[in-house]
Amino acid sequence: MHRAYQPITPAGNKLLQQKWDDKYYNEHRTLVRTAKPMVDTKAPRTYVHMHMKLRKLQLEEERLATIERDNRILLEKMSHIMRTRGRVDNRNEYEHHSLNREKRQRELMRITKENQEILKRIMKREPEYDHVQWQREWEKNEAFMDNIARYPKGWYDEWKAEEDKKRQQSRGASRQSTRRSSEQSPRKKSQRRSERKSLTQDSEQEDRKDTDQEEDVKETDQSAEDTKDADQSEEPKEEEGAAGGEEEAQKEVEQEGQ
């Protein structure tokens, strides 16, 4: 019973309902299969004259035909020249003559005459500005500027030239010294070192001698000062002795007078 056809709508006879449903379904499928579309989706119709341009092909064939004809004629001429060794008259003694040569010459002469006349008028015209007076005024103004200027005219160029000259001289001297030092041998360097050592030793000895002499001078000065002090202390004693002797002599003279 479960394998029997089950219609969607209630029916009295299931077999007949199945038969009718199959018939309606098959008719629907045939209608769907044979249905025509509302929109035409087919490719557009092609025309031969639009794809194959016969006029263009004809013109191309005519062009190739003319080229082929010209090539054939040229080949025949070349073969004739090769067979008959040339026999071609290529000399042309024709001289080119211009039809308007005289007119162009007349126009050129007219233009040159006009230019010459304009040049004459320009040369005869006197200038409105006196350049000589301008030069004099400029020289006068330069003199005024030189008078009120802080530095003389052209001092910077001279100073720069002197500095460049000094710099070049110093460079030359340094180069010569470097060359001499590079040319010196190791023996000369050792000799110089020994000379420097000897000079240092001599200078040390001289310094010692000077110190000794200074000490001697100081000692002599000290001894001289001591002797001066001793002389100064003895001089009052002598004066006192001399004064006492004079008093004694006066006393003797007075006693004799009495």
- 10-30 in b/e form (b: 16+ CB < 10 A) is eeeeeeebeeeeeeeeeeeee
User: Is pLDDT larger for residue 207 or for residue 14?
Assistant: 14
Q: Give 33-72 pLDDT, tens digit per residue.
A: 999 888 888 888 888 878 888 889 999 999 999 999 999 9
Quote the pLDDT of residue 88: 58
Q: pLDDT averaged over the chain?
A: 81
Whether residue 161 is predicted with pLDDT greater than 80 in this model: the reply is yes
Most confident of 135-144, 171-180, 190-199: 135-144
Residues found in the chain: 258
From the list 29, 7, 10, the residue with the least C-alpha distance to 19 is 7
Whether residue 148 is predicted with pLDDT greater than 50 in this model: the reply is yes
Q: What three-state secondary structure class fits 1?
A: coil
**Model-level pTM greater than 0.75?**
no
Whether residue 183 is predicted with pLDDT greater than 90 in this model: the reply is no
- Confidence label for 176 from pLDDT (cuts 50, 70 and 90): confident
Write out the two tokens for 61. Answer: 């064939």
Q: Which amino acid is at 184?
A: Q
Q: What 8-state DSSP symbol labels residue 46?
A: P
User: Is pLDDT larger for residue 29 or for residue 4?
Assistant: 29
How many other C-beta atoms are found inside a 10 Å radius of the C-beta of residue 7? 14
Average pLDDT of 173-182? 77
Write out the two tokens for 148. Answer: 């009120």
Q: What's the CA gap between 56 and 60, in Å, rounded?
A: 6
Whether residue 2 is predicted with pLDDT greater than 80 in this model: the reply is no
